[in-house]
Amino acid sequence: MKTVNVRQLKNNPSEALRSASREPVLVLKRDRPEAFLVHIDLNELPEAPEVKLLLATALFKSGSLSLGRAARVGGVPISELVTHLSRLGISAVSGNQEGVVAELETLEEWLASS
Element (H, E) at 61: helix 48-61
Residue 52, helix vs strand vs coil = helix
pLDDT reported for residue 11: 94
Q: Which of 79, 109, 76 is nearest to 92 (CA)?
A: 79
Beta strand 32-37 with 2-5: parallel, antiparallel or unpaired?
A: unpaired
* Whole-structure pTM value: 0.48
pLDDT reported for residue 104: 83
pLDDT reported for residue 85: 93
Question: Which stretches of the chain are assigned E, i.e. beta strand?
Answer: 2-5, 25-29, 32-37
Residue 37, helix vs strand vs coil = strand
pLDDT reported for residue 47: 64
Structural domains of the chain ordered from first start: 1-39 (3.40.1620), 47-114 (no CATH)
Contact (Cβ atoms closer than 8 angstroms) between residue 109 and residue 91:
no
| Chain centre to alpha carbon of residue 26 | 9
Mean pLDDT by groups of 10 residues along the chain of 114 residues: 90 91 89 83 62 87 88 90 92 77 86 84
Q: How far apart are the first and last CA of the chain?
A: 30
